[in-house]
Chains A and B, each alone.
Chain A
Amino acid sequence: KNEVEQSPQNLTAQEGEFITINCSYSVGISALHWLQQHPGGGIVSLFMLSSGKKKHGRLIATINIQEKHSSLHITASHPRDSAVYICAVTGNQFYFGTGTSLTVIP
């Protein structure tokens, strides 16, 4: 079993839809990260959070430490949001989730 589980694995949405990607983890952490990997491969760090909620533009990330769960929301999705979104946690080690491949259709 992976230390970090994400769902869904793949997600297709129409432009403008509200999108939620979920992440559950089973280890003790000091921080949780949401990362974005575009088809070219480079990884961009979207959020680092250890409690509560953070917002950046159309992206919102929340974390519930007691439930060991985090969500990434994208409001008013756009085709340029198409990418792989990866949840990762900093614990004793750095653990990556398997990623969620998002495709937003115009």
Chain B
Amino acid sequence: GAVVSQHPSWVICKSGTSVKIECRSLDFQATTMFWYRQFPKQSLMLMATSNEGSKATYEQGVEKDKFLINHASLTLSTLTVTSAHPEDSSFYICRATSGEVGIQYFGAGTRLSVL
């Protein structure tokens, strides 16, 4: 069945480096990708919405130059955390929709730890 493959599942990096997280849709075309951030024991917080071939729409308070989102194809969206700092340590997860009403697909998430 349709799946969203998210990589890496876990990454540790040094402060100041950039980290790229990928979400690939398998067996379907992800017309829209949503990127979320989740702190421990808290709900998912929407960071941005991206549609294939267009610029992402960022939620208020999310720095677009820090969290670069690319959705160049219908099967791949990437989130790059640029110049990562310890406060960027969090769980990042993507959600994809294909246009079918109501159908949601989630990535398995990426746990980012910035030292």
Which A residues fall within an 8 A CB radius of B?
30-31, 33, 35, 40-45, 48, 50, 86, 88, 90, 94, 96-99, 101
Contacts and interface: CB of A to CB of B under 8 A. Distances in A.
Interface of B: 34, 38, 41, 43-44, 91, 93, 95, 101-109, 111
Question: Which 6 pairs from chain A and chain B are nearest by CB?
Answer: A31-B102, A42-B108, A41-B109, A43-B106, A90-B102, A41-B91
Contacts of A96: 43-44
Given A45-B104, A94-B34, A98-B43, 16 more contacts: A30-B102, A33-B102, A35-B106, A40-B108, A40-B109, A41-B38, A41-B93, A41-B108, A42-B93, A42-B106, A42-B107, A43-B93, A48-B103, A48-B104, A50-B102, A90-B102
Contact residues of B: prevailing secondary structure? loop
Nearest to A90: B102
Contacts of A35: 106
Contacts of B102: 30-31, 33, 48, 50, 90
A48 to B, nearest CB: 6
B25 to A, nearest CB: 14
A31 to B, nearest CB: 3
Contacts of A42: 93, 106-109
Contacts of A90: 101-102, 104
Contacts of A41: 38, 91, 93, 108-109, 111
B39 to A, nearest CB: 12
A103 B55 CA distance: 41
Contacts of A88: 104
A44 B106 contact: yes
A59 B43 CA distance: 23
